[in-house]
Chain A
């Protein structure tokens, strides 16, 4: 028995509270909370503040539960990649069985509680989101296609739809457009990161576009998705949740994002390496501002509407 295996045995089953919290992927949860919150507030029907709070909490918990199930399934590749080696399972602080039980229990709890607190439509979309992230993305697409991030991105796009469903009990053009905005934003956002993060997906045999199709093709993909994203972002401005503030923000951010995508497309690896991937890093930062800017503008419009302003 080596020292390492001894240490692992001592640690297993004695995880701290923070280790279980880490299984919920708290950083991903912040995006879920923000977009679900905007979806909920942008909806035409008001929601009781406490019910709104409970709904957001269980939407976040459902997202976290799917993160725990993702870590359970991906424990083998998490052990290989440097970025994920410190996660609770590969580090030996939480067993795979514990993560599975934890994730499965919280998945059921979050869906049932969301149903009891709000309505079955919101709960059904949350259940589908968890299923999509765990079964479709994690178990199937992630290791089988370089388009994994494209289709898998849908899981991260559902929260504003759930927030909207909490308030209205249904699905509408607005909620579908909010979904599409995140869905189309995910690939350029992630691929910009993939260009400058020299990750070890290759060792873990995860087919990323940068590895399977090369960096030139990835640059072209970023441009194509950014071009497709712009009309969706601008289209939201003419719906009931849009308005002049949203339109102004969308025009500025889309012009900046398009310029960034064109800059990335024009560059080659030699140029990028020469300046330490400055443009790619800038566009990645901009992509974060892009999403928060759009959803922030929707939030501003809905707040203005309360005072009889906002909208067209």
Chain B
């Protein structure tokens, strides 16, 4: 017979670990999204400012 150890403490640990995993995944998605937006907007454009301004107009 398998020994089953169930305690409220284990639920809390599981909840904390799953929660942390989700937060980390969300953070990765957030940084990825931010990078996409900033790249598309040209925030990291290395062209001279004048050329960038003309393109923007």
Chain A residues in the interface with B (C-beta under 8 A): 10-11, 14-20, 48, 50-51, 54, 57, 116-117
Contact = CB atoms under 8 A, between A and B. Distances in A.
Interface of B: 9, 11-13, 15-16, 18-20, 30, 33-34, 37-38, 41
Contacts of A15: 12, 16
A254 to B, nearest CB: 40
B41 A17 contact: no
Nearest to B41: A48
B12 A16 contact: yes
Nearest to A49: B37
B19 to A, nearest CB: 3
Contacts, number: 35
B6 to A, nearest CB: 15
B34 A116 contact: yes
B34 A50 contact: yes
| Majority DSSP secondary structure for residues of A touching B | helix
Contacts of A54: 30, 33-34
B34 A17 contact: no
Given A10-B9, A48-B41, A17 B33 contact: no
A89 to B, nearest CB: 16
A116 B33 CA distance: 13
Nearest to A51: B37
A18 B30 contact: no
A50 B13 contact: no
Contacts of B20: 17
Contacts of A116: 34
**What 6 pairs across the A-B complex have the smallest Cβ distances?**
A17-B19, A16-B12, A17-B16, A16-B15, A17-B15, A50-B37
A10 B8 CA distance: 11
Given A17-B18, A50-B33, A51-B34, 15 more contacts: A14-B12, A14-B13, A15-B16, A16-B11, A16-B12, A16-B15, A16-B16, A17-B15, A17-B16, A17-B19, A17-B20, A20-B16, A48-B41, A116-B34, A117-B34
A19 B20 CA distance: 12
Contacts of A50: 33-34, 37
B30 A14 contact: no
Contacts of A117: 34
A48 B16 contact: no
A109 to B, nearest CB: 9
Contacts of A51: 34, 37-38
B18 A14 contact: no
Contacts of A48: 37, 41
7 contacts: A10-B9, A15-B12, A16-B12, A17-B15, A17-B18, A54-B34, A57-B30
Q: Name the residue in B19, B20, B33, B34 with the highest tally of chain A Cβ atoms < 10 Å from its Cβ.
A: B34
B18 to A, nearest CB: 7
